Amino acid sequence: MADKTERNPLILTAEQRQSLQTVAGSRTAPVREVERARILLAYADRLPLQTIARTVGVSRPTIYKCIDKALTMGWEAGLKDLYHRPKNPVISPEAKAWVISIACTKPVDLGLASEVWTHQALAAYVRHHANDAGYPSLGRAVKVTVQRILSEQDLKPHTVRYYLERRDPDFDRKMREVLLVYREVFLNPASSDPDNPVYTVSLDEKPGVQALGLTASDRSPVPGKHPTVSRDHEYVRLGTASILAALDLVTGHVIARVEERHRSQEFIALLKDLDAYYPSHARIRIILDNHSAHVSQETRTYLATRPNRFEYVHTPKHGAWLNLVETLFSKMSRTFLRHIRVASWAELKERIEKGIAEINAHPVVHRWKNFDLEPENP
């Protein structure tokens, strides 16, 4: 090997040298590849092996292996590890399949307390039951062993991903009804019959708005000291409020109430506000969900006193995303409700009503483009 530099030089093109220099200077490539790139560059420059070992900080056997691979299989092979398996695998495919079957079973179904596995708990269960199951090779399995077996199948039994099951058998029909209303309103907002006008609103409730009070005064931003508002971590709970809101889909006007609860009587109060706001001869079409307050006996009694005044269009169960008033609640959460702190519940109500007034001063009207809905099959 002492005279290998003279007999077997490593000849690199300009492009190959540039690639090696990129790897040698990389901060993200594996350390062993960086070292091997430096070895090959130094060897191509015909530096003595002792100098290469001292400069790179590796042993001479490491240099020999790297140069031999590069000379026989190319400079790229000199950067990589050769595939090798020193011995046959100890864990058989059947044993791995047994681990996979356990991972796909809930721990609670196997007599444990947990709902989902952790890698540590799964490894402990495998070790404890390996001999009885006929897989002694797993008797000393540790967490890393289990992780490797699971990663081969891309299994993650320690995580939970939620999905939404359609529990409404009439989901498609109700969704279509709502979308047809939207198409009518957005494509022809002024097509209502002047003698029998129809006003369409999207209605829902936002419960649980917390009235939080400060325990210490906020500190305003100070140039050169701290750029943000500083606030004490502690706070005082002063109750919760429910926002009942109806969004006019044509004008963007919001009719809302702020209440401590959202029962039938609060919902009826909002209906009375709608009744007072729109012309008496008009029909008010309301897009809303199936909350109990919307269909209670108390509510139906009130609706009977105003025949042909209100028309319900129900969204399907678990279909709140179809109700456009949710965009209004999202805007509230991102604007005046964000980081809000008040001294009392009454102040929270006042602040919410002021925020709604600001929205009504500059209403946002929804406009859908390229709206198309396939006709329903007969």
DSSP string of 108-125? GGGT-S-SS--HHHHHHH
User: With 50 as the cut, is the pLDDT of residue 2 above it?
Assistant: no
Residue 14's contacts (CB-CB under 8 Å, 6 or more residues apart) are: none
pLDDT at 367 over 90: no
Could you give the CA distance from residue 211 to residue 342 in angstroms, rounded to a whole number? 6
Asked if pLDDT for residue 190 goes beyond 70, the answer is: no
Per-residue pLDDT at 3 exceeds 60: no
pLDDT tens by residue, 88-102: 668 899 999 999 999
Q: What is the pLDDT of residue 343?
A: 94
Tell me the two tokens of residue 271: 């209906």
pLDDT tens, position by position, 14-33: 999 999 999 999 999 899 99
The candidate with the shortest Cα–Cα distance to 204, out of 329, 269, 288, is: 288
Note the pLDDT tens digit of each residue in 39-58.
999 999 889 988 999 999 99
In which band, very low, low, confident or very high, does the pLDDT at 336 lie, cut at 50, 70 and 90?
A: very high
Q: What is the pLDDT of residues 214-244, one digit of tens each?
A: 999 988 989 988 898 889 899 999 999 999 9
Task: Provide the token pair at 249.
Answer: 């889909």
pLDDT-based confidence at 369, cuts 50/70/90?
low
Q: How far is CA 213 from CA 20, 218, 231, 276, 352, in A?
A: 62, 11, 11, 35, 15
Domain segments of the chain as ranges: 4-79, 93-152, 172-361
Mean per-residue pLDDT, 266-272: 96
> Residue 208 has which token pair?
């649980």
What average pLDDT does the chain have? 89
Q: Is the pLDDT of residue 207 over 90?
A: yes
Q: What is the pLDDT of residues 114-170, one digit of tens each?
A: 999 999 999 999 999 999 999 999 999 999 999 999 999 999 999 999 887 767 788
CATH class of the domain whose range is 172-361: alpha beta
Instruction: Give Cβ neighbours of residue 337 (< 8 Å, ≥ 6 apart).
Output: 209, 352, 355
Task: Decide if 311 contacts 285 (C-beta within 8 A).
Answer: yes
